[in-house]
Structure 1
Amino acid sequence: MSITSQVLEGKQPIYRSRLQFVQEAVLQSVQKLSETQPHMRVGLITFNNQVTLHGCEEFTSRFLWGAELIDSEYLKEAAFSFPSPPPLSRTRDCLQREILGLSESGATALGPASLVAIAMASRQPGSKVIICTDGKANTDLGNLEVEGIDARPCLSSTIFYHDLGEYAASQGVTVSVLAIEGTDCRLDELGRLADRTSGKVVIASPHELYSEFEEIIENRTIATHCSVTLLLPTTLCVKGEREAGNRGTREVGNVASDTEITFQFGAREHGSQGEVSAPVAGARVSVQLQLRYRQKDGHSMLRVLTADREVTNDSSVVLSDLFLAIIQLNSSQASAALAVRGRFQDAKSEGETQRQLMERALEYSRSAEDKLIYSKWLKTMDPIHNSPQNYTRKQSILSDTPQSLTDMGAALLYSMKNRNRRPISLKEKQQH
């Protein structure tokens, strides 16, 4: 983090390192949290060629290095044995001193540090881990610097981050990854952590770090271990990557108040499932949604929602009544889910199918809002439809595996995959 950026103070240009920007952003976040949520517990873990678990007046820091950094079980035990940080009302000053005392040097033991942070956060379901980095992990555990002819990291590292994401989700921990603009951090791999735990994948300029920290912190987890099951009559079937038949389940994991997920379903194709025929016009069908989740106090909850709808064969009735914002959200999520796996052609086909449906629906809608939402959706989908080459890494012509994503591509597509119906931000407009 020693590379500098030019900033203006008044009319005088000065140069500051990435580390200085990070320090300033974290200090601001700590100060605000100490004023607004003084009972919150905040821990600081830093990494270079070693991993440092920063202490305070009540307990000393711990340093992990060498062979300790390649033993996952040892790292977990180190995290479990390290004291939980006291509330910010007692640690703010000490934490600020630790932040101001940071310096840049050595390697990037991001993999071990991530494991330790998640293990520490697992003590309290609903906790957040924010990983801020300006480079690739390059120590043995979770090394993202060694690549094959397909421009992908070694398989063991891919498995490491996949398993780490599963571990975090099982413990109710949300992980967000914040990379600094102008760096290559292999967000296609690190993004797995955020994607599995409902966190964010962000590329931020040094000047925007504080606002990104704040947005991540303020988006509170309201439930963990969430799964959503859609139940349909046998005349209908769920459509999608992992669904089959008239029942589909999504393992959502951690959810915030603005989390939105979507399903696709339709009439069963003729001849499938024992010749079950499609529902006839005038009939009524029931659709049920079952939400299972765990509250922060550990109580498991079940919520059941059931809707009853009439079947019609008049397409104009359906098209004039479609909620386009939901169709567009589903299209963005489904297409991005395919694209993050390198299946750009399938993602494009998915988007094209939904585009045709939306254009037919717009013929029955005079709403200026619907037309505006549609135009924004077209811009959002442009990277998938027209310019996927701008978001993928170059690889050897000898490789026949799907192309891996650049950091910009990973940040964009993971965000699309987990987006909601909030208006597209100015930053996103500039990207598109």
Structure 2
Amino acid sequence: MASRQPGSKVIICTDGKANTDLGNLEVEGIDARPCLSSTIFYHDLGEYAASQGVTVSVLAIEGTDCRLDELGRLADRTSGKVVVASPHELYTEFEEIIENRTIATHCSVTLLLPTTLCVKGEREAGNRVTREVGNVASDTEITFQFGAREHGSQGEVSAPVAGGRVSVQLQLRYRQKDGHSMLRVLTADKEVTDDSSVVLSSLFLAIIQLNSSQASAALAVRGRFQDAKSEGETQRELMERALEYDRSAEDKLIYSKWLKTMDPIHNSLQNYTRRQSIHSDTLQYLTDMGAALLYSMKNSNRSISLKEKHQH
């Protein structure tokens, strides 16, 4: 029904694991992996919803076990929210989801770099990457990482030369709610410097912090917890170096809030995961609270502050 109107929203409200044939997550032992057919079911459902311009959000009742690590993939693929809420908070959560209107569907973003640079942290390598974003709202923000190409890769391509300039281009393809396909092209021309103090003193910390939250959470929801921690620590070192320069009080406050947001990844991810069995020290799966927290971080923007209950 929702697929008849691109931009529609579906909200799944659940107080426990799915236990019928379709998408059954009620398996033996609370820490067992869901059966393959259920994983495929939610994957295919997410792909279908995204292809129809439908956003799916999942609201789980606090104190229940809904396997949001699996069910949340459906919301994540369609740019929906994953929320754990008490019953008296449901009205507010429904209202927020409905009010955050979809302004475009089938959005994809292509980043084009010169051959001296390469994209980092993406499935595609090289100086070009396309990310399928899907449904977007007016406050949607995504970030990319890129840097100088490592020496010796891609033949004998050299690093950017100090004093020169590099061009970076973004191509945004999306579909308006009336069905029209659109293309927007944004190009930036940047000067290259080898003076780290110039770079560190001019960094836009809010963007660095947003990228760190999104990139670390994206790794964690895929089970790459150690990589997520390493990513966060690398970004933290960069920001601490930047803060040694004359930064505004606002920058320092933003950094302090970011540390609290990143606390589960930096220090206490074990509080949000459960082991598959008592015999396994490596296979971990997210609790509902952990899944909701990390999916929120993965799709966060600069205007979102994670809820206090998720910080404890």
TM-score normalized by the length of structure 1: 0.70
2:28, 2:47 → 1: CA distance?
Answer: 24
Q: 2:155 aligned with 1:274, yes or no? A: yes
1:379, 1:147 → 2: CA distance?
Answer: 36
196 and 223 in structure 1: CA distance in 2 versus 1, 3 angstrom threshold: same
1:157, 1:292 → 2: CA distance?
Answer: 32
Q: Note if contact 1:121-1:128 (Cα within 8 Å) is conserved in structure 2.
A: yes
Cα deviation digits, residues 198-230 of structure 1 (max 9, x gap): 000001111111110000000000000000000
Following superposition, the deviation at residue 242 of structure 1 comes to: 1.0
Q: Note if contact 1:224-1:293 (Cα within 8 Å) is conserved in structure 2.
A: yes
Of stretches 386-395 and 411-420 in structure 1, the one that deviates more from structure 2 is 386-395
Following superposition, the deviation at residue 401 of structure 1 comes to: 6.3
2:81, 2:141 → 1: CA distance?
Answer: 14
402 and 290 in structure 1: CA distance in 2 versus 1, 3 angstrom threshold: farther
414 and 312 in structure 1: CA distance in 2 versus 1, 3 angstrom threshold: same
348 and 139 in structure 1: CA distance in 2 versus 1, 3 angstrom threshold: same
Question: How many pairs align?
Answer: 312
Name the counterpart of 2:311.
Answer: 431
Following superposition, the deviation at residue 413 of structure 1 comes to: 0.3
2:267, 2:157 → 1: CA distance?
Answer: 40
Following superposition, the deviation at residue 183 of structure 1 comes to: 0.9
Following superposition, the deviation at residue 365 of structure 1 comes to: 3.2
2:211, 2:110 → 1: CA distance?
Answer: 16
> Secondary structure at 1:289's aligned position in 2?
strand
Cα deviation digits, residues 86-142 of structure 1 (max 9, x gap): xxxxxxxxxxxxxxxxxxxxxxxxxxxxxxxxxx11011110000011111100110
Following superposition, the deviation at residue 194 of structure 1 comes to: 0.7
1:336, 1:123 → 2: CA distance?
Answer: 33
2:290, 2:63 → 1: CA distance?
Answer: 14
361 and 221 in structure 1: CA distance in 2 versus 1, 3 angstrom threshold: same
Structure 2 residue aligned with 1:216, among 83, 93, 97? 97
198 and 149 in structure 1: CA distance in 2 versus 1, 3 angstrom threshold: closer
1:426, 1:127 → 2: CA distance?
Answer: 25
Following superposition, the deviation at residue 412 of structure 1 comes to: 0.2
430 and 162 in structure 1: CA distance in 2 versus 1, 3 angstrom threshold: closer
245 and 189 in structure 1: CA distance in 2 versus 1, 3 angstrom threshold: same
Following superposition, the deviation at residue 403 of structure 1 comes to: 1.1
> Secondary structure at 2:263's aligned position in 1?
helix
Following superposition, the deviation at residue 255 of structure 1 comes to: 0.3
Cα deviation digits, residues 18-45 of structure 1 (max 9, x gap): xxxxxxxxxxxxxxxxxxxxxxxxxxxx
Name the counterpart of 2:225.
Answer: 344
Q: Note if contact 2:61-2:86 (Cα within 8 Å) is conserved in structure 1.
A: yes
- Greater RCO (CA < 8 Å, at least 6 residues apart): 2
1:284, 1:393 → 2: CA distance?
Answer: 49
Alignment root-mean-square deviation, CA: 1.5
Following superposition, the deviation at residue 388 of structure 1 comes to: 1.1
Cα deviation digits, residues 344-386 of structure 1 (max 9, x gap): 1000000011001000111113201110111111111110111
298 and 417 in structure 1: CA distance in 2 versus 1, 3 angstrom threshold: same
Residue segments in structure 2 that go unaligned for 5+ positions in a row: none
Following superposition, the deviation at residue 240 of structure 1 comes to: 0.8
2:310, 2:285 → 1: CA distance?
Answer: 23
Structure 2 residue aligned with 1:239, among 120, 123, 131? 120
2:148, 2:33 → 1: CA distance?
Answer: 40
Following superposition, the deviation at residue 430 of structure 1 comes to: 5.9
430 and 171 in structure 1: CA distance in 2 versus 1, 3 angstrom threshold: closer
Cα deviation digits, residues 159-184 of structure 1 (max 9, x gap): 11011101100110000001111111
Q: Note if contact 1:289-1:306 (Cα within 8 Å) is conserved in structure 2.
A: yes
> Secondary structure at 2:125's aligned position in 1?
coil
1:149, 1:400 → 2: CA distance?
Answer: 17
> Secondary structure at 2:174's aligned position in 1?
strand
Cα deviation digits, residues 295-337 of structure 1 (max 9, x gap): 0011100000000011001111111110000000000000000
Q: Note if contact 2:261-2:311 (Cα within 8 Å) is conserved in structure 1.
A: no
Following superposition, the deviation at residue 423 of structure 1 comes to: 4.6
Q: Note if contact 1:147-1:153 (Cα within 8 Å) is conserved in structure 2.
A: no
> Secondary structure at 1:393's aligned position in 2?
strand
Following superposition, the deviation at residue 404 of structure 1 comes to: 1.1
260 and 426 in structure 1: CA distance in 2 versus 1, 3 angstrom threshold: closer
Name the larger-Rg structure: 1
Q: Note if contact 1:149-1:396 (Cα within 8 Å) is conserved in structure 2.
A: no
> Secondary structure at 2:4's aligned position in 1?
coil
Q: Note if contact 2:6-2:105 (Cα within 8 Å) is conserved in structure 1.
A: yes
> Secondary structure at 2:160's aligned position in 1?
coil
Structure-to-structure mapping, 1:263-342, within 5 angstroms: 263-342=144-223
Of stretches 360-369 and 316-325 in structure 1, the one that deviates more from structure 2 is 360-369
Following superposition, the deviation at residue 148 of structure 1 comes to: 6.5
1:428, 1:417 → 2: CA distance?
Answer: 17
Following superposition, the deviation at residue 394 of structure 1 comes to: 2.9
1:201, 1:430 → 2: CA distance?
Answer: 12
Q: Note if contact 1:147-1:154 (Cα within 8 Å) is conserved in structure 2.
A: no
Q: Note if contact 1:392-1:409 (Cα within 8 Å) is conserved in structure 2.
A: yes
Q: Note if contact 2:275-2:283 (Cα within 8 Å) is conserved in structure 1.
A: no
Residue segments in structure 1 that go unaligned for 5+ positions in a row: 1-119
Following superposition, the deviation at residue 243 of structure 1 comes to: 2.8
Structure 2 residue aligned with 1:258, among 139, 142, 153? 139
1:141, 1:269 → 2: CA distance?
Answer: 47
Following superposition, the deviation at residue 395 of structure 1 comes to: 2.0
Q: Note if contact 1:392-1:403 (Cα within 8 Å) is conserved in structure 2.
A: yes
Name the counterpart of 2:32.
Answer: 151
